[in-house]
């Protein structure tokens, strides 16, 4: 089996490559990554020169780079992680989100049409469903919840989903889509809530909580997301969307306090800062479909996953310090 993984130098993509390598040592993995600020080749250093692995620095929007690579590699499966992924950056500068997240997805799917594919998997997000009110804990996102986006980021991801479903209907491209809740774990760029708070707390710096910190996210350990994608690419049905989440809703403030406690840092580091524009209140995934159809269930409980994650950041200071001082760009 030959798999192209786009965005494999980022957080979830790299974890997915490690997951694949361990479970299917015979698969050939080709990683395409533009190495934006979020891509870090250092993350892949253990696998870069190994057999059955190839890294290609390329932009998924660049047909002149993507098409010849598909012609040469003839992949069986493409898993598209490559994206601009940070909501706050999308509010500052939407355009690159539209470019990478929408056009890039189309370029990849066009290459799949041209060279044939067994599966194109689009890694989407629960944010395409918008948000849920805090006072209705009985409500969850299902695959039938209509897209209803809040940020340029989530709008670009929803657009890519619609395009993928259209390519399935129009060209019979064997597409699947996963919509996962918030991930956490090793190698997450320290701009996202959990790694930012860990790194700042370790450096005794302020912990910026947007607004009151009562927004709720549904957290999933990254390896459980990788496991879900593995099940979908091998056993999922063409044209289907699968929600992925582990019923682990937490308020931002509770996460930040937990990180302080685990690190032995005072809560006085917490600072309330201006709220995010259009800030989604609550995400909550109903994962009944992927459980019933593919047998997926998460393995890692939050109380264990967060400890593993905190310890990883404690033990891999050089990984995130090279991001803070910019040295990672030279790797
Ligand atoms: P990330 O920002 O850590 O990594 C993105 C990777 O894509 C980086 O390596 C970057 O260099 C690469 N990239 C960006 N633009 C590119 C381009 N034009 N061409 C090639 N490569 C490019 O993101 P992540 O958190 O690992 O998210 C991966 C995917 O999962 C995204 O599609 C995101 O929407 C989705 N997702 C993320 C979460 C989460 O909690 N992080 C949850 C659900 C879904
Ligand atoms: O400094 C911060 N302070 C803060 O209060 C940051 C960075 C975030 N927050 C809040 C905003 C959110 O309510 O924490 C929550 C989580 O924020 P992010 O880590 O930025 O994640 P979120 O906006 O929920 O989006 C994430 O999950 C869905 C990923 O970044 C997306 O790529 C994914 O699709």
pLDDT at 84 over 90: yes
* pLDDT 10s digits, 191-223: 999 999 999 999 999 999 999 999 999 999 999
Mean pLDDT of 227-245: 98
**Alpha carbon of 192 to ligand 2 centroid (Å):** 6
Tokens 């390519």 correspond to 167
Reported as a single tens digit per residue, the pLDDT across 19-75 is 999 999 999 999 999 999 999 999 999 999 999 999 999 999 999 999 999 999 999
Read off the pLDDT band of 331 (50, 70, 90): confident
- Residue 241 reports pLDDT greater than 90: yes
Q: What is the mean pLDDT of the chain?
A: 98
What is d(CA 326, CA 328) in angstroms, rounded to the nearest whole number? 6
Q: Which residues form the catalytic set?
A: 126-127, 153
- pLDDT value at position 311? 98
Q: Please state, in angstroms and rounded to a whole number, the distance separating the CA atoms of residues 149 and 98.
A: 14
- Tell me the percentage of the chain whose pLDDT exceeds 90: 99
Residue among 6, 8, 12 to mutate when testing ligand 1 (max atoms within 8 A of CB): 12
| CA nearest ligand 2 atom 27, residue | 182
Ligand nearest to the CA of 127: 2
pLDDT at position 237, please? 98
Give residue 136 CA to ligand 1 midpoint distance, Å: 30
Q: What is the pLDDT of residues 122-179, one digit of tens each?
A: 999 999 999 999 999 999 999 999 999 999 999 999 999 999 999 999 999 999 999 9
How confident is the model at residue 330, as a pLDDT?
Answer: 86
Distance CA 246, CA 287 (A): 7
User: Which ligand is in closest contact with the Cα of 82?
Assistant: 1
Beta carbon of 183 within 6 Å of any ligand 1 atom: yes
**How far are the Cα atoms of 31, 76, 86, 195 from residue 322, in angstroms, in the given order?**
22, 35, 20, 14
pLDDT digits (tens, 9 = 90+) for 1-15: 999 999 999 999 999
**Ligand 2 centre distance from Cα of residue 24 (Å):** 32
Closest CA to 166 of 117, 110, 232: 110
């Amino acid at each position: 089996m030959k798999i192209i993984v786009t965005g494999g130098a980022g957080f979830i993509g790299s974890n997915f490559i490690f997951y694949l390598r361990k479970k299917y040592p015979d698969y050939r993995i080709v990683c395409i990554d533009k190495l934006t600020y979020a891509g870090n080749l250092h993350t892949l250093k253990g696998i870069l020169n190994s057999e059955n692995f190839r890294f290609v620095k390329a932009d998924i929007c660049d047909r002149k780079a993507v098409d010849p690579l598909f012609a040469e590699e003839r992949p069986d499966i493409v898993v598209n992680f490559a994206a601009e992924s940070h909501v706050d950056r999308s509010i500052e500068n939407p355009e690159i989100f539209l470019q990478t997240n929408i056009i890039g997805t189309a370029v990849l799917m066009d290459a799949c049409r041209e060279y044939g594919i067994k599966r194109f998997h689009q890694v989407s997000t629960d944010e395409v469903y918008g948000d849920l009110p805090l006072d209705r804990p009985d409500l969850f996102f299902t695959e039938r919840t209509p897209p209803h986006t809040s940020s340029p980021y989530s709008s670009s991801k929803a657009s890519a989903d619609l395009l993928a479903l259209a390519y399935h209907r129009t060209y019979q491209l064997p597409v699947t889509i996963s919509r996962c809740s918030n991930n956490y774990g090793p190698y997450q760029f320290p701009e996202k809530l959990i790694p930012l708070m860990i790194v700042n707390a370790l450096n005794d710096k302020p912990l910026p909580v947007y607004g009151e910190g009562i927004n709720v996210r549904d957290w999933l350990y990254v390896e459980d997301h990788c496991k879900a994608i593995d099940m979908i690419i091998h056993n999922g049905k063409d044209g289907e969307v699968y929600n992925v989440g582990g019923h682990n809703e937490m308020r931002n403030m509770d996460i930040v306090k937990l990180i302080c406690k685990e690190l032995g840092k005072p809560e006085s580091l917490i600072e309330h800062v201006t709220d995010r524009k259009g800030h989604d209140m609550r995400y909550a995934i109903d994962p009944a479909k992927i459980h019933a159809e593919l047998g997926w269930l998460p393995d890692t409980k939050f109380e264990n996953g967060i400890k593993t994650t905190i310890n990883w950041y404690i033990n891999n200071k050089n990984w995130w310090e090279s991001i803070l001082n910019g040295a990672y760009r030279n790797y």
